[in-house]
Structure 1
């Protein structure tokens, strides 16, 4: 019990005044499980988060009872309840609604995968996705998180930020590259910023997945800051120079239409 009490005190210091350590722990467990490709046992969760097994077991069982986690043969996995929260968020987001409306009426991108995302620290979180029928080798879905420095929308949104804020966001440990094409560090990333600004959109050329090319443009708010990003994805075989130029112009146009929502 003493060890748990000490951990609670440490958690209070780390999470800041006004935050409840137990809630912070529960969210950390949910984030970890959501980020893993398979279910996790109590020992795995405790090791990843540096928490006592007894605390992890109590948190997980509570979350199972609330429908936030499920328990199966492999351990704990995501539960269904967050889906209702996600749906409520999407219903209230005029940006997502406008994105869906534009895609339904603007058929120029109907043959391609199109995504809407927003920045969350050094990551992008996908808000809405239209996955094309033809195989891309990668499926986007709402709620997915990826390192911003490797994605087209992440590059575009980061490039639209003031330099100091951009550098602060990417100053932490560099995410391991997904492919040999992934940008290698902050210095290399900064070398491309002016290019993306001049183009009006950024390019992920096989950085998330080899053979996939994405073009992303920032959606700016009324203060000129990136509120979100829109991207179109295609295979490298489709991404001929003239196709990139045409689709890049289209997503820049749509991003401008979405700005302010």
Structure 2
């Protein structure tokens, strides 16, 4: 059950910032009020406060985008996450992953947020992962592998309803999701078989910290027609080496299966 916030102005400001992040193009105050179902007067006041703190900026007299101060926060967050530097260093030591797209992500509610990406130049996917990108966890390999470590009741709290499918292979209900997560637990890695984008295939492995919690996920992505049993085995093995290295840097004593 959702609890009422004790700081409604803060909640509305966060909703505005989230909307501008997702929009990808400038929005007017009227657009924001309409999409968030908020009073225009309330939105106007919050926009003025966000402008003063450089959390948003104007592109013209009526339209707004995120401001530079959000990058200051993002850089501050990443500066505390040695995992990003460790990821960039570790991937250079695993040659079997050299020619593929690799991503590092964390679970944020029912979304995965990408902390680091290396998009392949040798085998382009027609899809570019970007730092800060958020996608539904249930359609991604890293999302599935992190969700698989949670108890079912916690998953249901995060996902009382599944998001609309992205493709014809996307998981569509809790029954399908829980069956997939059980497979992930059994085999030790997750698969996105075109659920995020048709023609793209991803394998994901969890990264655990000192407490054994799967705080991060790493994935390798390639074109679906390139997948066969030989490279599946090689790629999953390479991912598990990478996960073991990153988990060790976080103080984990566990080993990838």
TM-score under structure 2 normalisation?
0.89
Alignment: residue pair count: 245
Equivalence for 2:5: 15
In 1, Cα distance between the equivalents of 2:210 and 2:77?
21
Range that drifts further, 47-56 or 173-182: 47-56
1:62 maps to 2:49:
yes
Equivalence for 2:245: 257
Shift of 1:94: 1.8
Runs of 5+ consecutive residues of structure 1 not aligned to the other structure: 1-12
1:77 maps to 2:83:
no
Equivalence for 1:212: 200
In 2, Cα distance between the equivalents of 1:69 and 1:14?
26
Q: Deviations over 1:54-100 (max 9, x none)?
A: 12122223323332222225722222221122122112112112111
In 2, Cα distance between the equivalents of 1:142 and 1:53?
32
From 140, 152, 165, give the equivalent of 1:151: 140
Equivalence for 1:201: 189
From 73, 97, 100, give the equivalent of 1:112: 100
Q: Is the 8 A contact 1:161 1:225 kept in 2?
A: no
SS state at 1:232 partner: strand
Q: Is the 8 A contact 1:201 1:248 kept in 2?
A: yes
Q: Is the 8 A contact 2:56 2:64 kept in 1?
A: yes
From 30, 34, 37, give the equivalent of 1:47: 34
TM-score under structure 1 normalisation?
0.87
Equivalence for 1:5: none
Runs of 5+ consecutive residues of structure 2 not aligned to the other structure: 251-257
Equivalence for 1:136: 125
In 1, Cα distance between the equivalents of 2:41 and 2:215?
41
In 1, Cα distance between the equivalents of 2:26 and 2:165?
24
Q: Deviations over 1:193-230 (max 9, x none)?
A: 22111221100011111111111111122332211100
SS state at 1:153 partner: helix
In 1, Cα distance between the equivalents of 2:70 and 2:150?
31
Provide the aligned C-alpha RMSD in A: 1.7
1:226 maps to 2:214:
yes
From 228, 234, 251, give the equivalent of 1:246: 234
In 2, Cα distance between the equivalents of 1:186 and 1:95?
32
Structure 1 ranges of 4+ moved more than 6 A: none
